[in-house]
Amino acid sequence: MGRLGWMLALLASAPSVLADSGQIACHNANGLTGTVSASLPDPEAAGFDRQDCTLGSSAAQALGVGFAKGIAARGRDWTKLDGSGAALPDTAASWACLRDNESGLVWEIKTDDGGLRDKDHTYAWRSTDASQNGGNSGPLGSDTCAGTLPAGQCNTEAYVAAVNAAGLCGASDWRMPSIVELDSLSDLGINPRPAINPSLFPNSLSVAYWSATSRASNSNGAWVIVLDGGRREAVTKSGPAAIRLVRSSP
């Protein structure tokens, strides 16, 4: 089996939860040796085999082998959804949610309208779920979301409840993403920041976004992804930080 056939077999059998790295540039100890393309399917130097650049869906796309159901971008495959959850054309100018066709995860798209899902709103981390909060529910928060949540208590639990009540994209099972899920959106190849694809995730900011993951070593904190560099940090649950919700499609 040739390299391309082996790559396709690997892609077909591999779990689809982990995001592809997006890397198609190959390197050796001295630097860049080439970028995968139809005319250069294997730019790896001798002794520098099995790099990310020649493995996974990014390499397959660079070779013209498509698995995309929707928008192919850096080894990922996306579909825009409208406010009722229906698929939109790839060229749609606006969308409410974005589905990752590999993992099945559907992501909230932020707005810039001053409403419930406005990009500038921030929240304290809160969860009364004992299986999730590490023994610390977190604070109720203050009005850092322009009065869009009851009693001016801007916290992650209240936000999830409000988005589910609104039926965003026809669904009521929105939740906070795990740190691993949230990290899958980071794209360190995007410059200038934020480190997330702006053509797919408009209204994103170079700030911290909450995950559902409480800090194991200190339940006063929870994990965030900071999009000015795509890095993970643990911060106190009082925050505040931004939010991007997720759900699992059927």
Question: In the chain, what are the domain boundaries?
Answer: 3-67, 91-250
Triad 41, 44, 45: Cα angle to 5°: 140
pLDDT band at 20 (very low <50, low <70, confident <90, very high): low
Q: How confident is the model at residue 15 (pLDDT cuts 50, 70, 90)?
A: very low
Phi/psi at 34 (5° precision) = 155, 165
* pLDDT at residue 247 tops 80: yes
| CA separation, residue 60 to residues 27, 50, 101, 187, 204 (Å) | 18, 14, 16, 18, 28
- Is the Cβ–Cβ distance between 49 and 64 less than 8 Å? no
> Is residue 16 scored above 80 in pLDDT?
no
What pLDDT score was predicted for residue 168?
98
Model confidence at 72: pLDDT above 50: yes
pLDDT over 60 (residue 112): yes
The encoded tokens of residue 21 equal 């790295």
Question: Are 164 and 153 within 8 A, CB to CB?
Answer: no
Q: Where in the chain does DSSP place strands (E)?
A: 25-28, 31-35, 71-73, 76-81, 97-100, 105-108, 208-214, 221-226, 231-236, 246-248
Looking at residue 5, its pLDDT comes to 43
CA distance 162 to 155: 11
The pLDDT of residue 163? 98
Confidence of residue 11 (pLDDT cuts 50, 70, 90): very low
Mean pLDDT of 43-51: 87
> What's the average model confidence in pLDDT over 51-75?
67
Region 226-246 average pLDDT: 95
Model-level pTM? 0.76
